[in-house]
Chains A and B, each alone.
Chain A
Amino acid sequence: MNKPLIYGLLLSVLMVTAPHAEHLPLWVSALSATLLAWRSYLAYTGHPLPKRGLLMTITIASIGGILIDFHTLFGREVGVTVLMLLACLKLMELNTRRDAMALIFLCCFIIITHFFYSQSLMTGLYMLATLFVITASWIHLHAPGITFKPRLSIAGVLLLQAIPLTLLLFILFPRVQGPLWGLPQDAFASSGLDDKMSPGSLGRLALSDAVAFRVTYRGEIPRRDQMYWRGPVLWNFDGRTWTPGQTTRSIAPEFSDAGQTIDYSVTLEAHNKTWLFALDVPDKISVPARLTYDFQILSPQPVNVRLRYEARSQLEYHANLLESPIQIQRARHLPPTLNPRTRQLAANWRAGNSNDAAVIHSALSYFNQQNFHYTLDPPPLGVNGIDDFLFTTRRGFCEHYASAFVFLMRAAGIPARVVTGYQGGEYNAFGNYYIVRQSDAHAWAEVWLPELGWQRIDPTAAIAPERVEHGLSAALPDNAALPFMARNPPLWLHELRLNWDAVSYQWNQWVIGYNSERQFAFLSRFGIDSLSAQAISMLAGAGLVVGLFALYMLRHLFKREQNKTQAAWLKLCRKLAKSGLPRAPHEGPSDYAMRVAATRPDLADSIQDLAARYIALHYGSSQDEIAQREFIRLAYSFRPSRMKSVAML
């Protein structure tokens, strides 16, 4: 195997393994990089490949490493690790063409594992580039003598020819709704909200630029301070962490509709949890889901693929006016001894006002007036976290405020709970939709008042109203720690990013989200509404395209060697036909020449000469090239001027 081929294969392996470096243990990437560097060195110096024993040792050591690191030999990450190391080790024992073929197939297979982590447009383009490099090496393997340029051009031609066919198959190949077998728990990456909230958990999310979901409003667009996307609702507090808790008895969710409804569609990124996000409070949703007693929407399965749904929400509501006593009890429960100063504060407020609304007002003005700061970087809190926050540090992110507010309410005897989700979003004018990112994660509170039901109170709005009205970057004075898009980048860069997001949105809609339902909806527009019609049009279409390529590529097979003498004669006949003397089908050259000579005496000499030459060349046995050339020249320069001479006669 020659050096350039080995370099090509090395590059292929590098390209398929590199994207995995980011989510695999460091030692796996380090080992792969070492093996690749070692192999390049061997290829460069021409040293022999390492002995089998050494490779076996490395293999066994890596299996040991996997067991220590992952505690299992199954699962997605382990599978990816094994494939990666296998490819690198295969490079070390590249002896025959068969080894190289195995390596190439392995590389193709590893590309697919990239899609567990990302299916973005960039990943797609990267896949094309990788496949191009692999194909070039693949061709090189089967034609060692081929030089650099034709190798690339043939690889490019193969890839370009495959693209229209792939498009056809992608659209028409019958999609089966997976999964065919159970997915391992870690099949998909998850990021985003958790069903627990402790100090710092939302602050961490605020650092992520990742898209949580995108929203297109059908009609009226709500105000920004109405865009509360409801996620997990948290009831139980252990002094530090809020959790959903469990309940057995509860009434069905119920709310009075007060008028304004909002229709919108959400494209939710996979987050591997069951909740679906909707504006407070959801009324209708287009996918199978359940509305819980605390107005969460739960999907029957974890959302591990991008999901699109239509929904409708009521923005003004009185929710669960008749809440069950058990729930009210839960919404007042506090851990017994913690945070005595906070309890004291709430008791003071309660003593001063019998009115719930006044207590709420006191709490909000406390936040507003007591020099509280809204920051991503709060100091750590002790055992009595709420006391520390309210009286000492006074610096916190939205989860601190929500947590402290709910604690205060409960201490004052008002039923309250924490709601997490997202708030706001960024408008993308290029695609006319809103992007909600992980950095828009938010936590707020809900209190239950006897005459109003559950009402949303956002304590963050009391301390940093800009957060609710303009987003995170407006609320945080020092925004260096924020992700790029949450800061205020230059306008052109911002527009570029929004443009790119609009493209990604379409990509997600049409490429990644192209599932069996979407396929059916799309194809039935063209009258393809059954499986058999789908199969027939797919096969016919693919056959047609392959046939066209075949015709183009093999055109020289169908091209006849043309007889130049005859072509010149036929051209001559066409010229005469144009000037009004077409040759009759039964006429031979000499008869035709005689007739032309009789009609056009001015042409008589030349036409009879040409006919005689043609007869000699075409029917005679002489193969005189000079005579042939002379005839062709004369025939092409023959000009029967149109009937002018007849008029002169």
Chain B
Amino acid sequence: MLDALKQRFSNWLFRPKIEHGTVVLTQRRIFILPTRQGLVLVWVLILMLLGDINYNLSLGYVLTFLLAMMATMSMLHAFRNLAHLEIRAGRADAVFSGETARFIFHFNSKFPRYQLVLRDANADSVTFDLAAGQNNEIVFSLPAVKRGWLQTGRLTLHTEFPLGLFHAWSYLHFDTRCLVYPRPLANAPLPSAPDGAGKRSIAGDDDFAGLRNYTPGDALPRIAWKAYARGHALQVKQFATQAGEELWLNITNTPELDLESKLARMTRWVLDAEMQGLRYGLRLPDSELPSGNGTAHRDECLRRLALYGLSEP
């Protein structure tokens, strides 16, 4: 009963809600409480006041009141440090599991602000100052542990500026998310006998077949750097196997037993196939991606691997 009431109260007070777009920290969204150091100061001030009364120190009264009023005003300053801040969640580029996801937030402030801390429930945090003006980009880094969608959850933006006597905070829960690809195996040779359409061996990979002009999106290792250094235009080496060859990456061909390891090997395959400039397709139990080539194709393959078997949140 009490717990339910508490829950209702905190729901009313904090209004948990996932938001998108630009959030403005209005008065209603900012909370403020004294810190432990603020309470210590209260004791110090009481002690000082007793001394003032006992020794009848008029200037002591002045000092005590000055400190007390500065502390009071610091509450307003702490509040102002958050008030009317405009925050927009930006992009978060996909990363591999084991790397660090970087969520970008855009802050918009009319005046400089200091020592803001953005923190999530697991105490990952970033501390920053904001200059006056548009679009301060703040990167909130989170370790990407699992494949799939990574979300920040409810974030707390708090500040104890300027005197550390008051803790002002606000909750931010954006719908921003970061795609986490499976972590690729360190080393896994591409399947040598791909099933399906591609029958020929990929051993002919090294048969050099000539140069063609560079188009954006070509793999960097295939650029004819030597020719470029000689003063020719940027050109790409072409190999005999590329034409007409199709490599099928099939999850049933992975030797591992558990799904995550299978996906890890598949990820390595996708990366290697792309690196070698092969045309490759992806075959998963529930879907199939026709063969292709290029960054966009690779990302789509990785995306399917990342989300395989997971329900969209």
Interfacial residues, chain A to chain B (CB-CB below 8 A): 97-98, 101, 105, 108-109, 111-112, 115-116, 119, 123-124, 127, 131, 135, 138-139, 141-146, 150, 154, 158-159, 161-163, 165-166, 169-170, 173, 175-181, 183, 187-188, 305, 511-515, 542, 546, 549-550, 553-554, 556-557
Contacts and interface: CB of A to CB of B under 8 A. Distances in A.
A161 B73 contact: yes
Contact of B162 (A111, A139, A178, A546): A139
A554 B80 contact: yes
B114 A145 contact: yes
Nearest to B79: A554
Contact of A158 (B40, B64, B74, B79): B74
B114 A143 contact: yes
Contacts of A162: 65-66, 69-70, 72-73
Contacts of A108: 44, 48, 63, 67
B117 to A, nearest CB: 11
A112 B60 contact: yes
A143 B59 contact: no
Nearest to B44: A105
B41 A105 contact: yes
Given A105-B40, A142-B162, A170-B61, 11 more contacts: A112-B51, A116-B57, A131-B66, A135-B163, A143-B114, A146-B115, A158-B77, A162-B70, A165-B72, A166-B62, A554-B83
A178 B55 contact: yes
Interface string B260-283: 000000000000000000000000
17 contacts: A119-B57, A119-B59, A127-B59, A131-B63, A139-B163, A142-B162, A143-B129, A161-B73, A162-B70, A165-B72, A166-B65, A176-B53, A179-B55, A179-B56, A180-B53, A305-B56, A553-B80
A115 B162 CA distance: 28
Contacts of A112: 48, 51-52, 57, 60, 63-64
B187 interface: no
B60 A115 contact: yes
B164 interface: yes
Contact of B164 (A115, A141, A163, A187): A141
B73 A145 contact: no
Most B-side CB within 10 Å, residue of A98, A101, A180: A101
Contacts of B231: none
B50 interface: yes
A401 to B, nearest CB: 39
B84 interface: yes
A180 B50 CA distance: 8
Contacts of B68: 169
A154 B114 CA distance: 11
B160 to A, nearest CB: 6
Nearest to A177: B56
Contacts of A176: 53
B23 interface: no
B65 to A, nearest CB: 4
Given A178-B53, A556-B110, A511 B58 contact: yes
A188 B47 CA distance: 19
A170 B48 contact: no
A521 B238 CA distance: 101
A553 B83 CA distance: 10
Contacts of B114: 143, 145-146, 150
Interface string B210-250: 00000000000000000000000000000000000000000
Contacts of B251: none
B59 A115 contact: yes
A111 B44 CA distance: 13
A112 B60 CA distance: 6
B196 interface: no
A514 B51 CA distance: 16
A159 B74 CA distance: 10
B32 interface: no
Given A553-B76, A554-B83, A556-B84, A124 B161 contact: no
Nearest to B70: A162
B11 interface: no
B27 interface: yes
A556 B79 CA distance: 13
A142 B160 contact: yes
Interface string B189-219: 0000000000000000000000000000000
A175 B80 CA distance: 34
B112 A158 contact: no
